[in-house]
Amino acid sequence: MKIHALSLAFVACFWPSLVLAQETPRDKVIDEILQVKAAPEEPIADLTLVTPSLSTPIPPEVPSQPVLEVIEELLVEDTEEVVVSEGLLPLVQKEDEPEGVLVEELVTGEIAVFIPEEKVSPVDEQELSLEVEMEESETTLEKEEVSETIVAVVEEPDTENSEIITKSTPDITVKIPAALLPKKTPTLPRIAAFYLTTEEYLNLRAENKMPQLVLTYEVSTQKKGMILPVTSKVELIVGRDFAAVKTGPIRGVEIRKIYDFKFNRLLTVSTQSGPNGMSAHFDNISLYAPVYRNIRTVRGATQNGSLKMITLGGGKKLDAFWVESAMSWAVDPQGTNLSVREKASGFKVEKGRKTIFNASFSEETYPEKNFKQSLLSLAYHEWPLHPQVLEIFAQYDAPPKAFTMLSYSPSALDGETQTWTLVDRKNKISTFPLPATALGISQRKPISSLVFIIGEAVKGQAFGGPQTPEELEFDYKKSVENGDDYALWLIGQRYNSYTGKCDQDSEVWLCKELNSFEKQYGVGENKAEVNTELEAFIQAVRLSKTGANYAEVLTLLQPYLNDPDVPAIILQTAAMARAKMKSFDILNSEFAAISPEKLLQSSLVKDPYDPNTYLGLAQINAANEAYEASWDFYDVLRTGTGNAGAVDLKIDKVEAKLRADAPGYFAGPK
pLDDT band at 325; cut points 50, 70, 90: very high
HSE-up of 11 (CA within 13 Å, CB side)? 25
Q: Which amino acid is at 484?
A: D
Distances (CA, A) of 294 to 287, 420, 561, 628: 11, 24, 38, 13
Would you place residue 180 in the very low, low, confident or very high pLDDT band (cuts 50, 70, 90)? Answer: low
> What is the pairing mode between strands 400-409 and 354-361?
antiparallel
By percentage, how much of the chain surpasses pLDDT 90? 57
Residue 15, C-beta contacts closer than 8 angstroms, at least 6 positions apart: 251, 253, 272
- Kindly state the average pLDDT of the residues 529-542: 91
pLDDT of residue 32: 58
The average pLDDT across 11-27 equals: 32
Q: What is the pLDDT of residues 623-668, one digit of tens each?
A: 999 999 999 999 999 987 767 777 888 899 999 999 999 999 998 6
181 has a pLDDT exceeding 50: yes
3-class SS of residue 483: coil
pLDDT at 162: 39
Separation between Cα atoms, residue 643 and residue 157, nearest integer Å: 23
Helices and strands, number each (H, E), in the chain: 23, 19
Beta strands at 309-311 and 354-361: parallel, antiparallel or unpaired: unpaired
State yes or no: pLDDT of 590 exceeds 80: yes
Q: Pick from 154, 159, 162: which is nearest to 180 by CA?
A: 162
Which pLDDT belongs to residue 645? 77
Specify the pTM.
0.75
- Which candidate, 81, 85, 127, places its Cα nearest to that of 103? 85
Give the pLDDT score at 226: 85
- Per the prediction, the chain carries an average pLDDT of 77
pLDDT 10s digits, 482-493: 999 999 999 999
Nearest by Cα to 101 from 26, 152, 62: 152
Residue 422 has pLDDT above 70, yes or no: yes
- Given a cut of 70, is residue 142 above it in pLDDT? no
The answer to whether residue 305 scores a pLDDT higher than 60 is yes
C-alpha 113/C-alpha 95 separation (Å) is 16
What pLDDT is stored for residue 23 in this prediction? Answer: 41
> Residue 528 has what pLDDT?
60
Query: Is it the case that residue 3 has pLDDT exceeding 90?
Result: no
CA–CA distance, 629 with 618 (Å, rounded to integer): 7
pLDDT at 54: 53
**Residue 302 burial (CB < 10 Å; 0-12/13-18/19+)?**
buried
Average pLDDT over residues 366-387: 96
Handedness of CA 85, 88, 89, 95 (dihedral sign): negative
